[in-house]
Every structure is written in structure tokens, then in C-alpha cells.
């Protein structure tokens, strides 16, 4: 997997270095049909006329074309081709929008999200989300006069923090993940106050942040904070009228309680899952129950106390 990370960084870096060194847009477009993630040409443009038409496009038109083609590849689950086009979008943005920090940040943010969500490549996602964040920070001025620009900055910044937090959690940088998710929570509040996100999307994003933070806190051995986040997630799901989606939260709570040796509470949470989904992994409860019995037996032995005697059966 390290070789894959290295190769991807080399490929992405080559496109960006080409842009920085002044490589022509035409040279980028000639390479737009060769995928850095897999050999062979991409399907569009297929004909020679279409390729010539693409080469003759204005740089702005090339950027729009590659952007829409990347979305088409994503819709068709062609992850490598999608990422290739997004890398080229970043390179073109460097050429065309060197002074437009927002557009360049948006290109980096979209590439970071693709690396993380489509391929699970946390290191590349962190690299590009960090670049996007550096570009956005000077734009986060409280005296901004343009409301539309402010909303776009906040939307992009929210995406950056969510991606960076998820990638940091994946790569075991837990403190960095916590900071990113807390920042995402703050930005989400600002965005909602400005009317830049509807209530449904806000609740969905809050749930994502809270779920991720509970897992961060669990791995940081901070069970109280982890359980508190789970409780918030449960409340949001109940408020949204989606109790059937609480199963994953109850499982997380059971895992946290089991880590702390609170096996009775863990069983209680898993029992709630069983009530919501009767055929959902019943073996898990039996495993935790067995652990609880074994744990109680160990307590008896450690105290050197005799096991409680059984009451005689009636009639014996």
C-alpha cells in the first residue's frame, strides 16, 4: 500500500509541477486521455475529431469539461479515471486561477475528498486538504463584504475539515482528527447561522461529526466523552424520526462499555439493537454474555471467596 501512496503522490505532483513550471495547457490536454492510475486511454473523447476538438478548447472550457467528466466517472464508479481528471483540474486551476484562492482551494478540496472517499487513501487526502485549508484561511475574514463568497468559503472549509478529520482518524493521528472534527462543528454552526445549509443537511453533518468524534474519543481512552457523543447522535436520530438507524450507535456504545469492562451495559445496548433488528448478529450478544460470565467468575476467584451455593431443589 505504501508503494501505491508513493506512486499517487508522484503522479499528482507531476501534474502540479507542470502547472507551476508553465507547461502549456495543450500539453496537459494531450495527456488527458491517458490515466495515471491505469494504462490505456479513457473513453471520452474517443474519436480523433473529438480529441482535436478537445485540444482546441479554451483553457476555461477544458476545465469545465474535465470537471464534468470527473463527475461522470464518479457516477459510473470509475474511481481511478475520476481522480485522474480531478488531478488535471487542480493543475488547470493553478494555471488559470493562480490569484483566485477560492477556486484553487475548491479544486484541492474535491481531490482530497475523492482520494479519501473513493480510494481510501488517507495520506493523499490529508495532503490536499491541508493545501486547501492554507488557501482558505486568509479568506475567512469576519469583515467579508460578499455574502456569497463567505458562504462558498465556509462550505469548502467544512468539506476540508471533514475530509482531513476522517483521513487523520484513518491514519491514527487522533489528536489531529479531534481538532479537525471540532473545527468542522464550529464551521457548520456558522454556515447554518448564515442560512447556507438546510436543517436536514445540518442534522446529517452533525451526526457524521458526532459519530466520528465518539470513535476518536474511544481510541483516545476517553469513554465519557465518547458516550456523550453517542447520546447526542441517538437524540438527533430520534428527532429526525429515524430510530432504525440507531443500531450502529448502540453498537458503538456497547464497544465502549465493553472496553471499560462494563459488560452488563454492553449487553443492554446490544439488546436494544436486537429489538430494532431482530435478526441482526445475535451471536455478538452471546459473546459479550460469555465474557461477562467469565469476568464474574474471575472476580470470585480473585477474592478467594467460595462460589455461591445452589439452593436445593424442592422435594429433594
pLDDT of residue 281: 55
Question: Cβ distance 212 to 232 under 8 Å?
Answer: no
pLDDT of residue 41: 39
pLDDT of residue 279: 60
Residue with cell 453517542: 230
Alpha-carbon span 108 to 271, nearest angstrom: 44
pLDDT of residue 288: 52
pLDDT of residue 53: 81
Alpha-carbon span 266 to 251, nearest angstrom: 8
Q: What separation in angstroms does the CA of 28 have from each of 19, 23, 58, 183?
A: 9, 8, 12, 36
The mean pLDDT values, 10 residues at a time, for the chain of 316 residues are 42 41 38 37 58 83 94 96 96 88 96 97 97 92 69 96 98 97 97 93 95 97 97 90 89 95 94 81 52 45 46 44
Length of the chain, please?
A: 316
Give domain limits for the chain.
17-98
Amino acid at each position: 500500500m505504501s508503494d501505491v501512496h508513493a506512486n499517487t503522490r508522484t503522479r499528482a505532483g507531476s501534474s502540479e509541477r507542470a502547472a507551476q513550471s508553465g507547461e502549456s495547457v495543450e500539453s496537459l490536454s494531450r495527456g488527458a486521455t491517458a490515466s495515471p492510475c491505469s494504462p490505456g486511454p479513457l473513453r471520452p473523447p474517443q474519436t480523433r475529431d473529438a480529441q482535436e476538438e478537445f485540444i482546441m478548447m479554451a483553457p476555461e472550457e477544458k476545465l469545465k469539461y474535465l470537471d464534468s467528466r470527473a463527475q461522470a466517472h464518479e457516477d459510473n464508479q470509475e474511481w481511478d479515471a475520476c481522480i485522474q481528471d480531478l488531478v488535471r483540474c487542480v493543475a488547470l486551476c493553478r494555471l488559470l486561477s493562480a490569484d483566485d484562492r477560492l477556486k484553487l482551494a475548491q479544486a484541492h478540496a474535491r481531490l482530497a475528498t475523492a482520494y479519501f472517499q473513493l480510494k481510501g487513501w488517507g495520506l493523499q487526502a490529508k495532503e490536499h486538504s491541508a493545501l486547501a485549508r492554507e488557501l482558505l484561511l486568509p479568506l475567512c475574514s469576519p469583515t467579508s463584504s460578499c455574502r456569497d463568497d463567505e458562504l462558498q468559503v465556509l462550505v469548502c472549509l467544512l468539506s476540508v475539515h471533514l475530509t482531513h478529520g476522517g483521513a487523520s482518524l484513518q491514519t491514527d493521528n487522533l489528536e489531529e482528527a479531534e481538532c479537525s472534527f471540532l473545527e468542522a462543528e464550529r464551521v457548520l454552526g456558522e454556515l447554518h447561522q448564515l442560512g447556507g445549509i438546510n436543517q436536514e443537511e445540518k442534522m446529517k453533518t452533525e451526526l457524521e461529526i458526532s459519530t466520528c468524534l465518539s470513535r476518536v474519543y474511544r481510541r483516545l481512552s476517553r469513554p465519557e466523552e465518547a458516550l456523550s457523543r453517542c447520546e447526542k447522535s441517538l437524540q438527533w436520530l430520534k428527532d429526525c424520526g429515524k430510530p432504525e438507524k440507531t443500531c450502529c450507535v448502540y453498537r458503538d456504545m456497547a464497544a465502549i462499555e465493553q472496553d471499560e469492562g462494563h459488560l452488563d451495559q454492553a449487553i443492554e445496548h446490544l439488546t436494544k439493537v436486537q429489538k430494532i433488528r431482530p435478526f441482526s448478529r445475535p451471536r455478538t450478544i452471546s459473546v459479550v454474555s460469555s465474557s461477562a460470565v467469565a469476568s464474574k467468575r474471575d472476580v470470585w476467584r480473585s477474592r478467594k471467596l467460595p462460589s455461591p451455593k445452589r439452593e436445593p431443589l424442592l422435594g429433594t
